[in-house]
Amino acid sequence: MLSVARWVLRALLVLNLFVGGVLLLLLLWSFADAPRFASTITRAFAGRDVGSLLFWARVVLAVVAPVMIAAHLLFRNLLAMLGTVEAGDPFVPANAARLQTVAWCLLAIQVCDLLFGWAATEFDTLAGERTSGWSPGITGWVAVLLVFVLARVFREGARLRDDAELTI
């Protein structure tokens, strides 16, 4: 099971870089070839405020960068934790710090999701139709709290284990 988790995390690292890279290139293209990008929006949403649609489309695409960075850090830390689990020593202070980083990454992703939702909703309103499919959710926020608590549990577990080893 651990080898499958390692494979999945490595695949997610590559997928994150690929998809994030494509979306960031699309953002750069929206500036480098603004007339063509604007004409694409004009064709898709005739009669709408193209300038505003272009702005909100760029905001949606710009949210990709911080999410990509947070996801990369999250996957790298999970891989490092997996290494300690495979070595048979998961309750180490480093894993508590890694879990704390994972929690902060999840929080960053949740905040970016709100920004994405705001931008997508503005785009939808200007476009006159629901194109984003975004809706707020509570699950990610619960996950953030859960991982912060787990980081604390790991920190205490590592401390107790170290204390027990000193008394033996």
Asked if the model's pLDDT at residue 168 lies above 70, the reply is no
Q: What is the mean pLDDT of residues 98-107?
A: 98
Q: What is the mean pLDDT of residues 68-76?
A: 98
pTM: 0.88
Q: What is the DSSP letter of 132?
A: S
CA-CA distance, 102 to 108, in Å (whole number)? 10
- Amino acid code (one letter) for 127: A
Report residue 21's pLDDT band, with 50, 70 and 90 as the boundaries: very high
8 A C-beta contact, residue 144 and residue 113 = no
- Tokens 């499958």 correspond to what residue? 4
Both tokens of residue 72? 């990369």
8 A C-beta contact, residue 52 and residue 43 = no
